[in-house]
Amino acid sequence: MLSAKTTLLKSTPTLLSKRMQLRCFSHLPLTIPIKLPNGLEFEQPTGLFINNKNVPSKQGKTFEVINPSTEDEICHIYEGREDDVDIAVKAASDAFNNGSWSTIDPIYRGQALYKLAELIEKDKEIIASIESLDNGKAINSARGDVELVVNYLKSSAGMANKLDGRLIDSGSNYFNYTKREPLGVCGQIIPWNFPLLMWAWKIAPALITGNTVVLKTAESTPLSALYAAKYIPEAGIPPGVVNIVSGFGKIVGEAMTSHPLIKKIAFTGSTATGKHIYQNAAASLKKVTLELGGKSPNIIFADANLKKAVQNVITGIYYNSGEVCCAGSRVYVQESIYDELIEEIKAASEAVKVGDPFDETTFQGAQTSQMQLNKILKYVEIGKNEGAQLITGGERVGKKGYFVKPTIFGGVQEDMRIVKEEIFGPVVTISKFKTLDEVVQMANDSEYGLAAGIHTSNINTATKVADRLKAGTVWINTYNDFHCNVPFGGFNASGLGREMGTEALENYLQSKAVRCRLED
């Protein structure tokens, strides 16, 4: 993917050469058997997915995929290059232009998406296990991801009847109407923190609206998307409608964002890379949606249910090992309960089970890469040097695997880097506030605006604060609580456009107006 990780890869070639080595294995089988730590076995596709077939890359290059829990190699995957992007785009363009998908009755597109959801649902335990193996997340979190995938595909299937245009009255001498049409070939670049969920968030709205897709998986987590793609032909989706090119951002991502036949780019990843993509895409006037970084505030008022608030803080920052763009990484506690909450959150953090993702009692698995682990530990040192109080955590767990203790900083100043910058890991800062106005000002003092949390028993306080927060999603008395019909996306540096809900459809449609003069 094009992300903060990709940006770092450009500046650390020695690390790239050690852990993500490119090799020429033209003889690499297109599927390989893998036995999972829980005893399940499956055949992992290794090729690119083009025209409903698993194919090798043109140059035969491959790259290594690492298990972040053990640091061992899982397998090699074929690495796409610019010529592979051209082949995938041509397949997608041909599929769009022949009308086998773009012009059929939307109800049939809905039926195919629903069938895809059912096929994934039948295989959900293997798919969740692949996600845990490849990403390092706890198996229960991975199961939750697969459930969200299934529900979103089914929900998108039901949106086939949301694609209508409208009639416009301009007097009896004219017949005016609009129709909403697909854009064409859509390029989609997904991140490594929710590999399969982001795959679904991207392809579902594109497909139901009649578009075709060329998707780039994240280089560190390509396995689940390639595995799930095997169900696309079985679901009745024609060749060329969905194409997957695994590879690196600076090669595949760059080729996609500048390709003349790609009409729209959807990206999830870092704000810095999102800006770069936006500039690249602007040269050919592509439509662009960006779901970017965050530094989300999580606000606890004195009248909140404190037990539930503490649990929502834990879910807000340690879920998915803290590798969540909307993580509640800035906690604000009303001063009358600050000391009590600090102790409660500390105790709850230290009770979080960190370790083997396939252990059913694990809540926080591994960070996805050595690079991400190093980044988190670097920010711990930055926090200490800035004078923040390390309340708990801040250390690596064990010597094998990319594990880190849940970490809390108190005594922070709002201008500290650990408060301002996205760490993307299980690190939270806790600040105190007095008044509603004060906390709103503190919460909004950020370049980001992806999400926020409010904890209070007073509905007036909740709605008043929600209205004033500059965030695309506001959770009240909950956190990291997603539903397939509720749109998700950010304000400010957190992005453009929305995922999920009917709002997601607008990203993949364009309106055509037809004005017909009637004879007198």
3-state secondary structure of 74: strand
Instruction: Reply yes or no on whether 291 is catalytic.
Output: yes
| Spatial distance between the Cα atoms of 66 and 226, rounded to a whole number of angstroms | 16
Nearest to 373 by CA among 426, 410, 328, 420: 426
| Spatial distance between the Cα atoms of 368 and 69, rounded to a whole number of angstroms | 8
Q: At what angle do helices 338-350 and 306-318 cross, to 10 degrees?
A: 50
Helix ranges (DSSP H) in 209-326:
223-228, 231-234, 254-258, 271-282, 306-318
Question: Would you call 381 exposed, middle or buried from its count of C-beta atoms within 10 A (0-12, 13-18, 19+)?
Answer: exposed
Check: CB of residue 226 under 8 Å from CB of residue 49: yes
Check: CB of residue 450 under 8 Å from CB of residue 293: yes
φ, ψ for residue 179, nearest 5 deg: -135, 150
* End-to-end Cα spacing for the chain: 59
Helix ranges (DSSP H) in 283-416:
306-318, 338-350, 370-386
Q: Which of 291, 323, 422, 499 is catalytic?
A: 291
CB under 8 Å to 95, separation ≥6 — which residues?
101, 212, 238, 239, 240, 241
Strand 287-291 to 262-268 pairing: parallel
Within 13 Å and on the Cβ side, how many CA atoms surround 210? 23
| Spatial distance between the Cα atoms of 324 and 320, rounded to a whole number of angstroms | 7
Active site residues: 291
